Structure 1
């Protein structure tokens, strides 16, 4: 925290919210007490990451003061935004004003000074001060200025956290470590998200044919992208349950998006219903001529009924038949009923 010049009317104090650990000095000079004091009144800025300087204005007079703040410095004015709750300070009270600094995240890329053929150096250090106008526009107008404070623009580097505190206090090492971070961090980031490239639900579209080959799944253009992702991801499970009611229901669920309704005990109430039409078997004494059926129904026959909804859309009947023919045992017969939502 730093204090402004003495003033009979007000006192201005500055509190940076992000203090630089190192100051730009020549060579590998380690931090001294003077450098630490200078750093405490400076503000560190990272492109793309906002930072704040809090301005405390204390009123020493016995009457309320109307104050207006402005920021002066050798940096673009759009970098700083003044945020305050009001303009009046009660007698012997204090008002806090926030200077919100925001540097474009493309600061280093957009600098014309680093283009080829330029001899100018890239400016990373700026100076600024706060000007307080008291009772502006009246005969009692006063102007008070704070002490100068420095703005240091540095690229953010997480690699500094791996160094001892002694080396973090050297500005050159921070910028030097950023070179290694830009070179190696993309490789580390790719390794950290490798799992997403190996999951069909999140992998790039170009990798889907390769992943389908892993599980011997034939990619068909009739399926949209999301259906292909779900089918490839659960291909092994479909192989395991092929020829069963569970496997057919799972396949139809992945295509149509209809719920499995595993919590419903009654098969006929499910959105994907697969039933076997068994009737009462032949019972002596209860049978009537013309309606007695031996074995109670048609052998190896099942009925598939799909109850669509608005969210799932219209179901392609030909594709459903193709799925059933592929998944059912060869000796089975079936009936298909699709209840599409009314248009």
Structure 2
């Protein structure tokens, strides 16, 4: 292989997709051509997040060139993948290649990242080389052109977004701020989702007994998990309406899942129907046959009708009676009917 010693056959330009601010010269990215050249050879990598380096290769000769591209460096080879548009460049044309870099998400936690023989020091900066081999036709007639660039592996820090650009350019500040972010951010994240931990519908299962104790609700193993969540969440509302038709209907709704049908005016047409067989008393001169009931019916008595939405819906009748006995006034009597849907 012959190294190129005359005027170069190709021109290589590098364009990083993520420019590190906390490296020398990065803050000059918008200060002119010199600043752009300084940052064009640096690529920032966050573990677990892909990043790219664009390689622009321009043919400076008046003949087509066949070439191959490779990347050399001390980093593991599996971190980098090369994507090219082909292997031949027409005269005066330009070809773009992409270097895809991905650092494992566990880079900072993986003890294997600390290489032996380096005094247990974790390497965060890598010097790399983009090598372009130009094929002249035979194995010995090859020229090689290269361009140097640097890889900087840094943990992503959300807190750096709150600092002025002047401080972001200092690498030590970024690492120092990351210590506080790792120490305090878990507590902040926990506080931000505290609402989910105290809502019985979204709280972890281990917290349900604690939330039930808050509202003096007795957790029973006969209830499945979703039923327990709904009952704990609306326990105070059940207490408020205990002894009323609304409270009993709400309790039965939370257990059976049958709709409340609050938009249906006729009580008998609802899926959870609670009626009283009580009509107008027999009054001389006002009573009509078929509408008057002697003594007005049975006092302190009500009838519960449950109409299933599907025939295979499981409803524990004994549990329904336990709910009714618990919610009704002690002096009341009742009748229970569970009906299957009409097919």
Is 1:172 the equivalent of 2:169?
A: no
| Other-structure match for 2:73 | 73
TM-score by length of 1: 0.79
Q: What is the SS of the residue equivalent to 1:260? A: coil
Counterpart position of 1:274: 274
The structure-2 alpha-carbon separation of the partners of 1:337 and 1:75, relative to structure 1 and needing over 3 Å to count, comes to same
Is the CA contact 1:31–1:169 (under 8 Å) kept in the aligned structure 2? Answer: no
Counterpart of 1:338 in structure 2 is: 338
Instruction: Provide closer, same or farther for how the CA distance between residues 16 and 117 of structure 1 changes in structure 2, counting only shifts above 3 A.
Output: closer
Query: CA 1:115/1:59 → structure 2, altered by over 3 Å: closer, same or farther?
Result: closer
Which runs of 5 or more residues in structure 2 are unaligned?
Answer: 1-5
Higher deviation after alignment, 244-253 or 315-324: 244-253
1: CA distance, partners of 2:115 / 2:61 = 53
Moved more, 143-152 or 168-177: 143-152
* Greater CA drift, 30-39 or 165-174: 30-39
Paired position in structure 2 for 1:149: 149
How big is each residue's C-alpha offset from its partner over 1:252-296, in whole Å with a ceiling of 9 and x where there is no partner?
A: 1211222323333443443323333456765868427xx963366
What's the Cα RMSD here? Answer: 3.9
Partner of 2:314: 314
What's 2:235 paired with?
235
Whether contact under 8 Å (2:279, 2:292) holds in the other structure is no
Structure 1: stretches of 5+ with no match in the other structure: none
1:119 is matched with which residue? 119
1:340–1:66 distance in 2 versus 1, CA, 3 Å: farther
Change (3 A) 1:259 1:70: farther
Name the counterpart of 2:43: 43
CA contact (8 A) 1:315 1:340 kept: no
Contact 2:311 2:340 (C-alpha < 8 Å) held by counterparts:
no
Tell me if 1:264 matches 2:264: yes
Structure 1 residues 64, 300: closer, same or farther in 2, change over 3 A? farther
The separation in 2 between residues aligned to 1:131 and 1:265, in whole angstroms, is 81
Whole-Å Cα distance in 2 between the matches of residues 341 and 135 of structure 1? 81
Note if contact 2:115-2:121 (Cα within 8 Å) is conserved in structure 1: no
Q: Distance in 2 between matches of 1:304 and 1:210?
A: 33
* Residue pair 2:311, 2:341 contacting (<8 A) in 1 also: no
